[in-house]
Structure 1
Amino acid sequence: MNTKLLSRMTFSRAPLAIALALLLGGCMVGPDYHRPAVAMPAQYQPLPGWTAAAPAAEAPKGDWWAMFGDPLLDELEPQVSVSNQTVRQSYANYQAALAQVQVARSALFPTIGISGSASKQRSAAGNAGSGVEHLHPISTSGSLEGNVSWAPDLWGKVRRTLEENKATAQAGAATLANATLSEQTALASAVIELRVTDANIDLVQQTVDALKESLRVVSNQDAAGTVPPSDLISARTQLENAQSSLLALGIARAQYVHAIAVLVGKNPEDLQIPHSSALPTLPELPVGVPSTLLQRRPDIAVAERQMASENAAIGVAVAAYYPSLTLSAADGFSQSPLAGLLHVANHVWSLGADVGETLFDGGERHGEVAAAKANYEGAVAKYRGTVLTALQGVEDDLSGLHILAQQAGVLDDAVRNATRGAEIALNEYQAGTVDYTTAATARATQLSTQQNALNVRQQRLLDTVSLIGDMGGGWSTDKLSAATQSGAKR
């Protein structure tokens, strides 16, 4: 068979091969993804006396921290998503995942290239045995060629890889959202700790002032000889202990300010926060039904998208059992000498197809498929475990808020009684009807009760922040499709 006839046959079969490849391109081996079912309760466990928030109330959306009515939170929270270094790291990881989506998509398209070459050469010629050589003239040769190669995705390996990388990118988007929410709730908690510390400083300062007045009274009585010297020593000791507690609170306050600075991406020494004992408002949150966590928790979305990615990896592994096909074509010019390179007489072209299939690999492909399936089962277990942990967190928050609300009511009464008791004991001591120990004990009880009430208020605020975080902070899985859309188009 001559070369021209072979070329015509190869050219005539090319459309048939391409059509066959396109026809088979719809085949995708491996399992299609379906989210596994998880058991979700119809409602959160109600506690005695527990009532849900009013149905008209809205779940937190967007700037959820505004519900606390704290100007410091309103100022600093928006900076977390911009300047927090943990969030910036998660953002960079997400951008890298989007780039991998682009890499995976590129395998669906042909690779087109162009190449050219030019060379000069001169050879010598002579008569055998004569010892005389003659140099041929310098010759110049060159070529200019365009080439195309394409591996049709016959079994869906490329599309499964793209599916895997898209799911990984969406998991990266959810990881970014989860990191942002985590750092935002950490900032809210730190601000609450700071506000409570300032309130505690005011409380202890009031106690120090009262103890100074008590010491003045006892000093006058001691000078008059109407009280034993031990009363003076006790009064001084009680004042010094209160002053020591006040100094310790100053250390804690500085540490909270430093932590807040780091959370918003600043050096600890660069942030100054004025003293303020005004506590944030305690909001009431509707929690909805447990099933909403599947759409609202970014960590659950991370686990679900990782599960989808591992499912697609099974298809990638299964595709290795099937043959591969690569189509190639080249078209260009070749000429020696170089002059007249682009003349039609110098036109050259070629078409080709390569088919490959592994006949024996010692069980490598079987092992890869088994590993992919095992990884998927592990991802399913992680997903279900994440859902269970989410349910536990919400239940813990609700239980804590309910019980702490009852405790706060009891402590409010206790604070009033302890304050009244300290006043009565001090009056009785001044009247000489009780010793100083009784008055000192009543004062210590008052401070301890006030601090307990403050701690309960603090824990209620912290549990509310935790509940907002456990409910996703207003985030939704609807954002995931948009998160990778820009990356898919690039």
Structure 2
Amino acid sequence: MKIPHTALAVSLALLLGGCMVGPDYHRPQAPVAAQYKELPGWTQAAPSDATPKGDWWSGFNDPLLDQLEPQVSVSNQTVRQAYANYQEALAEVTVARASLFPTIGVTGSGSKSRTSSGSSSLNSNFHPISTSGSVEGNISWAPDLWGKVRRTIEENKATAEASQATLANATLSEQTALATAVIELRVTDANIDLLQKTVDAYTEFLRVVSNQGTAGTTAPSDVISARTQLENAKSSLIALGVARAQYVHAIAVLVGKNPEELDIAHNGTLPVLPDVPVGVPSTLLERRPDIAVAERQMAAQNAAVGVAIAAYYPSVSLSAADGFSQSPLAGLLHLANHVWSVGADVDETVFDFGARHGEVTAAKSAYEASVANYRGTVLTAFQNVEDDLSGLRILSQQAEVLDGAVKDATQGAQIAVNEYQAGTVDYTTAATAQVTQLSTEQTALGVRQQRLLDTVSLIGDLGGGWSADQLGDAKHASKAR
């Protein structure tokens, strides 16, 4: 009697939709403040169109960043490794999902043989050549009665999403590393320009001191001191070449090139300091890929508990075969040669001396560890943002003071040199004023550098342009590359 297709479909759906042992996943609570400590009063979240997008680096208005940053997601080797790991995780989901369905196969065999009559005589006769063969289709299926396969799919899917978030985190980390290297390079070039200007000023000052030494109006030691001051400035200028070369090499590696393949022209113009909308702390849970990694790892560990619990229940395996077998081979496909078989196996472990209990306990402990890791990751994320905000706030105040200090130091050095030429102050006063000017300008440049670096760090700590909504969209990862 034939079973209607509808009945088969209903039976299959009932088996596939059987119970799933183990806990269903719910995201645990994480400590989230209503606002950042560094932002005074209540700060409303900025509109979504104001948040940094994928090309977050464009806000710095630096042509080198605009040129090189897109290459990170394509050519950076750390990102390529993370992408390959993500593809592997997706394949594991496919493998696990296939276990929900029957395995269907076809086997066939054929043979030709001839045997002797058994006589030891050299003239013994052989039996005629005989042939035999068979062709058979078979199907086997282990119904997922307790949800072990579905929990495994759930675990592998969460692991794949964690790998996807890891890819996003690796991309963002390498992009911020590139932005940091470019800023360091720009600051080095600006420092080179500053020292070159200082060398020019010291050269002119040495000329003045030498003329006065020739005229006998200043001590020979002043000439030697002025020459030493100039030589030290030249030495510092030369030393910056080492740092500059290393930054260029680092930039080349970050975009997947050999260091000798990339040359970057000197440019002492610093990137623009962009405004970064911070929003409210709760947005970090969706915008930071490392938090998404920790959250998806929790989901995977939660599903692993269900896989371990499923081992307590019996497993059922169904099999069936249908085909033809005939000897001799002729007429193999005749109805008379039709053969078939059906079978079922049930497997249940009675005593394992605590092995399954140990597996469940280990899975639950791993889940609790992942919860602690998630909450720790969230707390660290808040710390990162608060550090960035406090740094930017304090450095902004310092920059305002230094702007005035640079103006005063520059004016003071010029006055001191003029007075030295007029003979109203000694050499030490003029030289000290020049050193103070250089030191103040370098400090101000360092503060500008740190403000830019803290802004890059803040954008990275806010998640860049990434969002957890992209998880599970395999096409997005490929499109991003």
**Alignment TM class, shorter chain as reference:** over 0.9
Offset of residue 23 of structure 1: 3.0
**Which position in structure 1 is the counterpart of 2:64?**
72
Q: CA deviation at 1:53?
A: 9.5
* Aligned amino acid, residue 203 of structure 2: K
Could you tell me how far apart the structure 2 residues matched to 1:356 and 1:134 are? 52
Determine if contact 2:43/2:280 at 8 Å carries over to the other structure. no
Deviations 1:131-177 (A, max 9, x none): 99653211100000010000010000000000000000000100000
Question: Using the alignment, how far apart are the partners of 1:485 and 1:222 within structure 2?
Answer: 73
Partner of 2:337: 346
Aligned to 2:262: 271
Q: Secondary structure at the match of 2:384?
A: helix
Give the equivalent residue in structure 1 for 2:351: 360
Give the CA deviation at 1:124: 3.1
Q: Structure 1 residues 35, 86: closer, same or farther in 2, change over 3 A?
A: same
Q: Which digits, 9 at most, give the CA deviation of each residue in 1:423-462, with x for residues without a partner?
A: 1111111111111111010000000000000000000000
Match of 1:45 in 2: 37
The CA distance in 2 between the partners of 1:277 and 1:95, in whole Å, is 42
Matched, 1:291 2:282: yes
Aligned to 2:252: 261
1:15-414 counterparts in 2 under 5 A? 22-25=13-16, 26-46=18-38, 55=46, 58-125=50-117, 134-414=125-405
CA contact (8 A) 2:164 2:477 kept: no
Distance 1:59 1:337 in 2: 78
Higher deviation after alignment, 458-467 or 354-363: 354-363
Partner amino acid for 1:175?
T
Alignment of 1:447-486 (within 5 A): 447-483=438-474
CA contact (8 A) 1:22 1:152 kept: no
Read off the aligned partner of 2:456 and give its amino acid letter: V
CA shift, 1:47, in A, is: 5.9
Distance 2:123 2:232 in 1: 115
For residue 60 of structure 1, what is the amino acid of its counterpart?
A: P
Task: Report if the CA contact (8 A) 2:44-2:280 is conserved.
Answer: no
- Three-state SS of the structure 2 residue aligned to 1:148 is strand
Q: 1:101 to 1:484 in 2, by over 3 A?
A: farther
Local SS of the residue matching 1:124: coil
Give the counterpart letter for 2:195 in structure 1: V
Q: In structure 1, what is the Cα distance between the partners aligned to 2:341 and 2:476?
A: 39
TM-aligned CA deviation for residue 225 of structure 1? 1.1
**Partners of 2:114 and 2:128 within 8 A in 1:** yes
| Distance in 2 between residues matched to 1:484 and 1:311, nearest whole Å | 26
Partner Cα separation in structure 1 for residue 156 and residue 246 of structure 2: 42
* Counterpart AA for 1:442: A
What's the TM-score, normalizing by structure 2? 0.94
* Percent of residue pairs bearing the same amino acid type: 74
Moved runs in structure 1, 4+ residues, more than 6 A? 15-21, 50-54, 129-132, 484-487
Aligned to 1:415: 406
CA deviations 1:345-365 (Å, max 9, x no partner) are: 111111111111111112111
1:4 — aligned with what?
A: none
Asked whether the equivalents of residues 201 and 249 of structure 1 are also in contact (C-alpha less than 8 Å), the reply is: yes
Once the two structures are TM-superposed, the CA of residue 59 in structure 1 deviates from its matched residue by 1.4
Distance 1:243 1:416 in 2: 24
Q: Which amino acid aligns with 2:461?
A: D
Letter in 1 for 2:117: A
| Gaps in structure 1 of 5+ consecutive residues | 1-7
Conserved in 2, the CA contact under 8 Å of 1:42 and 1:289? yes
Rounded Cα–Cα distance in structure 1 between residues aligned with 2:194 and 2:66: 26
Contact 2:320 2:343 in 1 (8 A): yes
Q: Which amino acid aligns with 1:282?
A: L
Offset of 1:122 from its aligned partner? 2.2
Q: 1:86-124: per-residue Cα shift (whole Å, max 9, x none)?
A: 000000000000110111111011101111111122233
| Distance (whole Å) between structure 1 residues aligned to residue 121 and residue 472 of structure 2 | 82
Contact kept in structure 1, 2:105 and 2:137, CA below 8 Å:
yes
